Amino acid sequence: MLCCDSAAQARKKVQAGEAFDCCILNAPLADEDGSALAAFLAQKTQAQILFLSPESITAQQRCALKAQGVMVLLKPVGRQVLHSALEQMQTVQIRLAQLQNQNQRLTQQIGELQLIHRAKCVLIASLGMSEIQAHKHMERQAMNQRITRIEVARNVLQLYDNS
């Protein structure tokens, strides 16, 4: 848990690479009203942001913050409401982490498929194979050598690709 005395200090922490799962802003802050910091955190971090706002915040400001993914609660906030909001933020953070992991896996799979496709193209160009022949050749190599198709693709590219 990290507490900051001002918006400037919080910005410095984020810019220094500090990672946060959750940020709670109790507005107004010592050096600003807090809405600009909330927007900054929403843009620069993956953290869930809870903005505890005075009643003086306009509906337009609330909508702008919500559109950026900031949860806004008007003060005074009861203990039960705050606890519920924190639980919801934790649930959203877990779901976000799951989606990020899935995105990372899919990105890796796409990269591997692109590499395999590139290796097939190299086999087609270098050895005059058809796409089906190149595909079967790579699968046979993977089975015979007991390695993955991506390793076969890397070997093919290393052997035949001059680019």
**pLDDT digits over 81-116, tens only?**
999 999 999 999 999 999 999 999 999 999 999 999
For residues 38 and 92, membership in a common domain is answered with: yes
For residues 156 and 1, the model is more confident at 156
Number of domains composing the chain: 2
- Is a pLDDT exceeding 70 seen at residue 163? no
- Is a pLDDT exceeding 80 seen at residue 162? no
Final residue belonging to a domain, choices 100, 125, 152: 100
Model pLDDT for residues 114-160, shown as the tens digit of each residue: 999 999 999 999 999 999 999 999 999 999 999 999 999 999 999 98
Final residue belonging to a domain, choices 100, 119, 136: 100
Across 48-62, average pLDDT: 90
- Is a pLDDT exceeding 60 seen at residue 33? yes
For residues 69 and 24, membership in a common domain is answered with: yes
Query: What is the secondary structure of 104-161 as a DSSP string?
Result: HHHHHHHHHHHHHHHHHHHHHHHH---HHHHHHHHHHHHHHHT--HHHHHHHHHHHH-
Among 2-11, 38-47, 117-126, which stretch is predicted with the lowest mean pLDDT?
2-11
Which CATH number characterizes residue 149's domain? Answer: 1.10.10.10
Across 62-78, average pLDDT: 93
For residues 49 and 75, membership in a common domain is answered with: yes
- Is a pLDDT exceeding 70 seen at residue 51? yes
For residues 49 and 120, membership in a common domain is answered with: no
What pLDDT is recorded for position 39?
93
SS3 percent helix, strand, coil of the chain, rounded to 5, is: 65, 10, 25
For residues 26 and 46, membership in a common domain is answered with: yes
For residues 64 and 122, membership in a common domain is answered with: no
